[in-house]
Structures are given as structure tokens and as C-alpha cells.
Amino acid sequence: MPDEQTPVSARRSAAEGFVSEVNAQTGSDLRLVGLPDLGTPSGAAYVRWPDGRPGVLTRSILSPDTLHVFADILAMASARGVPVPRYELITALSQGSAVVQQRLPGSPPRHIDPSMVDAMVAVNESFAGLLADWPQVEVPQLHLRQSGEGTCLHETLQRYDDRSRRLLGWIRDVATTGPDQLTGDDLVHWDFVPGNLLFDPMGAVTGVVDWFTIARGDRHFGLMKVRFNLGHFAADGTGGYPTVTAAAISRLDDLLDQLLEPATYDLYWAHWSLALVDWTIRQGQQSKIDAYLDLANTRIR
């Protein structure tokens, strides 16, 4: 999978091979027309259908059957005015699946201020109650009491250093005070982050994309991952992420305090602390490890 260190020529070559593979599988005659900015979204390619419609081709580890369920959910959400893409093609590949999503207008943010935070929160509110008639959609575990399967590994934090062990102790304390899974019937985007949100030039959200994990629960859970993302962006000095104003972070903090009871806030903070610190440690990305550990530990009293 191409990443931030992959040269553009190699990314384009990989995308051309991906498009050719999908065309051979489906006879779609898709044409590669470009590549997204790095990280938006991962491994994607901009394509065009023979009739001129633009699309976004992405890989998924999920089965076509699961992706068809997601497509039905997104169609329902779109019919209710939520700015989400249609899934226009789903096919199995030799490894995983491929999806061609409708290409929505707008682009991921390069700068985040309080008004854009308000727009993110507003579009997230449109997810309220959307899965009340979809009991088959998973209500996910938070993994605060024990490791998940390949994710949220407690052992990673236990081994790493004193900061991570202190954090793990707090996470396990939080686990004794509440449920270890989400509750509610909202549509939850598990990767509700700035890179998966599209904005117009006026700062309005025009699309929420990359729905490769859909969950049922409390929509506000996704906002906590935004908080970790903004903290990481603000701490990063490479210039590879959107710039974030201190006022934007303060605005999101104020909104989260209004939207979440303290005990629920702790549950969601504990999950994303565990998930993101575990993942970055196993990826060996030191700047991200330090950023997420420092941020995670600010909640510990």
C-alpha cells in the first residue's frame, strides 16, 4: 500500500495497476485521472467512468457482502440529506475488495479554525438515530478491559515506557466505571477525521467519505478522534498536516464538554488513547507516539 514516503511515480504506477485489475475483473473501462493528496484517502485513485462520471476507487479488506450493506446504509443516509457518497461499484479482488465511490465536491481542509470545527460537529449531528432500524449493524467494543483482536493491544502500552504504563493503568480504572461498548442507534463513522471530510471554499462540509467501518452507537464517539487528530496536527512540525489554530482546539473542547457527560468523555478518551498509542507504537512513528502519549496523559487526574 503506498504511503507518505512513496514517490509520486510509484504511487501512480500502483494506481494504474489497481485500475487495470478492477477493469479486468468487472469490464468497467475505468480511466485513471489523478491521485488524491497523500493521506486523503489511503490508497485511493481518482477515476472516470466511460460516460464521464467521476469516481474514487479504493481498496477494502471487507467482503463485498459487507460493503453492499454499507452501500445500502449510505444510500439511506444520503436520502435523508447527509452528504455521503454512493457506492457505484463493489467487486472482490484476489486480495480484499474494491469500491468505486461517487466523487463528492470539495476537498479535505488545509487549515482548521473554529468555524470548521462547528461544521464538523454539525454534520456529525446529522447521524443521529439513523441506525434505529438497522439492529444488524455492530455495536463495537471499546477494549478497555482487554485487548482487541489485532487492535487496542494493552500489551503494547504495558511494554513501552512509564508514560504508556501510567496511561494503561488509568484506562483500566476507567473500564471499571462504565460499559465496554458503545450505546445508541446513531450512525458512527469510525474514522471521522479531517482527512475524510470535504469542505467547500466557504468552509461548509460537502462530504463525509471513506466509510470502511460503519458502527452503531453514539455519534459523538467520532468527535473524540477528531480531538486527538487536531492535537497531533498542532504538535507536528513537518508541515504535512492541516494547520490548526489554538482557538479551534479550544472550541472543540468546549463542545465536547457540552455534548458528553464526564464519565462518557472518559470512556471515549480512554478508547482513542489506547487505540492511537498502541497503533503508533507498533508503527514506530516516534513523533506520533510522543504527540498521542502527551495528549492522552492530559486527561489523567
Burial 113-143 (b: 16+ CB within 10 A, else e): ebebbebbbebbebbeebbeeeeebebbbbb
Half-sphere exposure of 109 (CA within 13 A, CB side): 28
Backbone angles phi, psi at 197, to 5 degrees: -120, 135
- pLDDT tens digits, 8-35: 788 899 999 999 999 999 999 999 999 9
Cβ–Cβ < 8 Å for 19, 35: no
- One digit per residue, the tens of pLDDT, for the chain of length 301 reads 444 455 778 889 999 999 999 999 999 999 999 998 754 444 689 999 999 999 999 999 999 999 999 999 999 999 999 999 999 999 999 889 999 999 999 999 999 999 999 999 999 999 999 999 999 998 999 999 999 999 999 999 999 999 999 999 999 999 999 999 999 999 999 999 999 999 999 999 999 999 989 999 999 999 999 999 999 999 886 667 899 999 999 999 999 999 999 999 999 999 999 999 999 999 998 888 999 999 999 998 7
Helix locations, the chain, DSSP H: 8-26, 64-79, 114-125, 154-160, 162-175, 221-235, 246-259, 262-283, 286-297
- pLDDT value of residue 263: 96
Partners of 55 in beta bridges: 47, 102
Backbone angles phi, psi at 278, to 5 degrees: -55, -50
Cβ–Cβ < 8 Å for 47, 55: yes
- pLDDT value of residue 300: 87
Domains and CATH numbers, the chain: 8-102 (3.30.200), 111-297 (3.90.1200.10)
The residue written with cell numbers 494547520 in the block is 243
Q: What is the dihedral of CA 101, 107, 112, 118, to 10 degrees?
A: -60
- The model's pTM is 0.91
- pLDDT value of residue 65: 95
